[in-house]
Each structure stands twice: as structure tokens, then as C-alpha cells.
């Protein structure tokens, strides 16, 4: 087999995630020759500009997708949650790896603070996600939300430096980096803070016509995780055609039943709207949740 060139962002989390995919591939196809080609994406370079201004979350993947189309790389490893619904033409998600924990966590600067209720009045919270912002304010209306973007390490350093009293991050990223053991944090339940579409899942993208890579990627796909992400991405597709709405969705298979928890704050209203739908089949579940939320008063 030829050498596989694997593209990724260059943050420590992206590198760690790429290693997880390489380990999975090695387990399923044996030893293979590879090269990691890391890229600083537009989203990583323009840290002072909000994501909305530079074109939504696609800014983390487009530069890497371009490498797939030019043939510079064969595979691209992404956090599924960073992927916009529309991939560049000619590309596809070839694998979704077994999903990690999907919840968001609230990390406290002061280790004496153990929960949201312990935070002082008007405590300052760092997050740049309107999904997290609005759901958090629904739990504690007095909190002051401040923008925080950049690598996990940068955000944790800003927390330690006193810029914030707490920050919200995905537990999955912290667990992958083994940072959790040194932090004081509270895990939000799915209904308190509905996660981002695809949160906790790793996606591997390749060219649609690359049969060799597609065959290999099938071996590392976890079918239940892939179905869950597909349901959530259908929800994203229906709602996110043109703009960056505060939304979240988490699909889970419980026995033989699919359960989808979905969140939307169409007019950026605090708390937004949430629904839980159940179905024996995953088809159209994302679409139904989107339609329900759009009609819900
Ligand atoms: N937006 C950046 C990003 N993309 C994926 C993760 C976490 C890992 C994951 O969800 O798989 C993070 C960091 C965060 O939100 O805390």
C-alpha cells in the first residue's frame, strides 16, 4: 500500500485526534506508512475576529479540504463538530470513529468552587459559542459572558490568569488531552446544555472517488456513532443553510430506539427552545426536530 498522507490542523488537540485515528487504522489494517501534514487554517490565524465574521465554522476545515482536492493529502482528520454541513464538492466523510463523551463542562478557576451555584454573583464566563452562552444564561441569568476563542491551552491559561471565573469546553477534547485530572469542573447534562452537532466524534474526510481510502475508512467506522452524527447533521442541514444559528443536537441509541435532543434559539432568546424526539428509525429524525423547533412557540 502507498504512503497515506494525513491532513490536520496543527493544534495539540488536532494532533492528538490524528494520533487516535492512526492508532485505530493500525489496529484495523496493520502497520502502514504515513505522513502527517498539518495546516494552520484561517480560523486558527484570525483569532481576534468572531467566527461569524470570517464565515462560520467552515474556516477550520476549508484549507484542509483544499489539500484533499489538490491531492496533497489523502485523508483529513476533523472534530465532527467543526464540519459545516456542506463539504467541498468531491469530498465525503469516510469514517466516524467511536464517539467519546459528548457533554460540555464548566471549568472553575477557583478550586473551592465546585458547581455553577457556587460561582459569585455576576461571575465572568468565557465562551464564544452562542449555543453555550444562551443555555448557560438560562441556568444563571446574572453571569457575564465574555468572548473566548483559541486553543484549549490558551483558554485554560486565560482562566488561570484570572480573565474569567469559569470557561465552558467540550469534555471530549479535555479528556483526549488528559487535562481533566488537574481541573475542577462540573459536567452539564445533555438537557442543561445540549451539545454541538457532532461533538465528541472524530470524522475522517477523503475524496469521494478514492475507493482505496473509502474501503480502509469503513473498517474504523463505528456504525452507531456514524448514525448518530448523521441524524444530528440532518438537523444542522435543515437549520443552517445560510447562517450561524445558536443550535445543538445530540442523538443517542437507547436499546432499539433513537432519541434526539435538539436545541434552537432562533431569535437568540435566552434558553431557546428544546425538544426530545424518539423514533425506531433514524430517517428524518433530524428534519422532524428542526421543523418542530421552527414551529414551536
Ligand atoms: N470548537 C473547537 C473544538 N472542536 C472540537 C472540540 C472538542 C472536541 C470534540 O468535540 O470532539 C473543540 C474544543 C471545545 O469546544 O471545547
Whole-prediction pTM: 0.94
Q: How confident is the model over 217-238, as a mean pLDDT?
A: 97
Give the binding-site residues of ligand 1, using a 6 Å CB cut-off.
79, 81-82, 169-170, 172-173, 199-200
Return mean pLDDT, the chain. Answer: 94
- Pocket test residue of 17, 106, 170 for ligand 1, highest count of atoms within 8 A of CB: 170
Which atom number of ligand 1 is nearest to the Cα of residue 168? 16
Q: What confidence category does residue 58 fall into, taking pLDDT thresholds of 50, 70 and 90? A: confident
Q: Comparing 51-60, 100-109, 177-186, which segment has the lowest mean pLDDT?
A: 51-60
Amino acid 154: pLDDT: 96
Is 150 or 122 the better-scoring residue by pLDDT?
A: 122
**So which residues are the catalytic ones?**
82
Give me the count of residues in the chain: 297
Q: Which three cell numbers stand for residue 14?
A: 488536532
Q: What ipTM was estimated for this complex? A: 0.94
Is residue 43 pLDDT above 90, yes or no? no
User: Which of 124, 101, 104 is closest to 185 using CA atoms?
Assistant: 104
Q: Which of 12, 13, 81, 198 to mutate to test the pocket of ligand 1 (most atoms within 8 A of CB)?
A: 81
Query: Does residue 40 surpass a pLDDT of 90?
Result: no
- Three-state SS letters, 100-133: CCCCEEEEECCCCCCCHHHCCCCCEEECCCHHHH
Give me ligand 1 centre to Cα 258, in Å.
Answer: 24
What is the pLDDT, as a whole number, of residue 60?
77
Find, among 153, 187, 190, 155, the residue nearest to 171 by Cα: 187
The residue among 1 and 28 whose pLDDT is bigger is 28
Does residue 132 carry a pLDDT above 80?
Answer: yes
Round to whole Å and give the CA distance between 92 and 106. 33
Residue indicated by cell numbers 490565524: 45
What cell numbers appear for 186 in the block?
A: 462540573
Residue of minimum CA distance from atom 1 in ligand 1: 82
Q: List the beta strands (DSSP E) in the chain.
A: 4-9, 34-39, 75-79, 91-96, 104-108, 124-126, 144-146, 166-170, 184-187, 202-207, 247-254, 257-264, 273-279
Least confident among 11-25, 38-52, 200-214, 215-229: 38-52
DSSP for residue 244 = -
What number is the average pLDDT over the span 253-282?
A: 94
Ligand 1 center to 135 CA (angstroms) = 17
Domains of the chain: 1-97+201-221 (3.40.190.10), 104-187 (3.40.190.10), 222-297 (3.30.160.40)
Report the nearest atom of ligand 1 relative to the CA of 199. 10
Give me the percent of the chain exceeding a pLDDT of 70. Answer: 93
In the structure, what pLDDT confidence band is assigned to residue 168 with cuts at 50, 70 and 90? very high
Using the structure block, give the residue that is written with the C-alpha cell 448518530. Answer: 228
CB count within 10 Å of CB 269 equals 12
Amino acid at each position: 500500500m502507498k504512503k497515506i498522507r494525513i491532513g490536520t490542523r496543527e493544534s495539540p488537540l488536532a494532533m492528538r485526534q490524528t494520533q487516535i485515528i492512526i492508532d485505530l487504522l493500525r489496529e484495523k489494517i496493520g502497520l502502514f506508512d504515513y505522513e502527517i501534514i498539518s495546516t494552520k487554517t484561517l480560523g486558527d490565524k484570525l483569532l481576534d475576529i468572531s467566527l461569524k465574521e470570517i464565515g462560520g465554522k467552515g474556516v477550520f476545515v476549508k484549507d484542509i479540504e483544499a489539500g484533499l482536492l489538490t491531492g496533497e493529502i489523502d485523508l483529513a482528520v476533523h472534530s465532527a463538530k467543526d464540519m459545516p454541513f456542506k463539504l467541498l464538492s468531491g469530498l465525503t466523510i469516510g469514517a466516524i470513529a467511536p464517539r467519546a463523551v459528548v457533554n460540555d463542562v464548566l471549568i472553575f478557576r477557583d478550586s473551592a468552587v465546585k458547581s455553577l451555584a457556587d460561582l459569585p454573583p455576576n461571575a465572568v464566563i468565557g465562551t464564544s459559542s452562542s449555543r453555550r452562552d444562551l443555555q448557560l444564561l438560562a441556568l444563571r441569568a446574572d453571569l457575564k459572558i465574555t468572548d473566548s476563542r483559541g486553543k484549549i491551552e490558551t483558554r485554560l491559561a486565560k482562566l488561570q490568569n484570572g480573565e474569567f471565573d469559569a470557561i465552558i469546553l467540550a469534555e471530549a477534547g479535555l479528556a483526549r488531552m488528559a487535562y481533566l485530572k488537574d481541573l475542577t469542573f462540573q459536567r452539564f447534562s445533555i438537557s442543561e446544555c445540549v451539545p454541538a452537532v457532532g461533538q465528541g466524534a472524530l470524522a475522517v474526510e477523503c475524496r469521494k472517488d478514492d475507493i482505496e481510502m473509502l474501503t480502509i475508512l469503513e473498517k474504523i467506522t463505528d456504525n452507531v456513532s456514524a448514525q448518530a452524527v448523521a441524524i444530528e447533521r440532518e438537523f444542522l442541514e435543515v437549520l443552517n443553510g445560510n447562517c450561524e444559528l445558536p443550535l445543538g443536537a445530540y442523538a443517542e441509541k437507547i436499546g432499539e430506539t433513537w432519541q434526539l435532543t435538539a436545541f434552537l434559539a432562533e431569535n437568540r432568546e435566552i434558553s431557546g427552545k428544546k425538544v426530545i424526539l424518539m423514533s425506531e428509525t433514524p430517517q428524518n429524525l433530524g428534519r422532524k426536530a428542526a421543523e418542530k423547533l421552527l414551529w414551536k412557540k
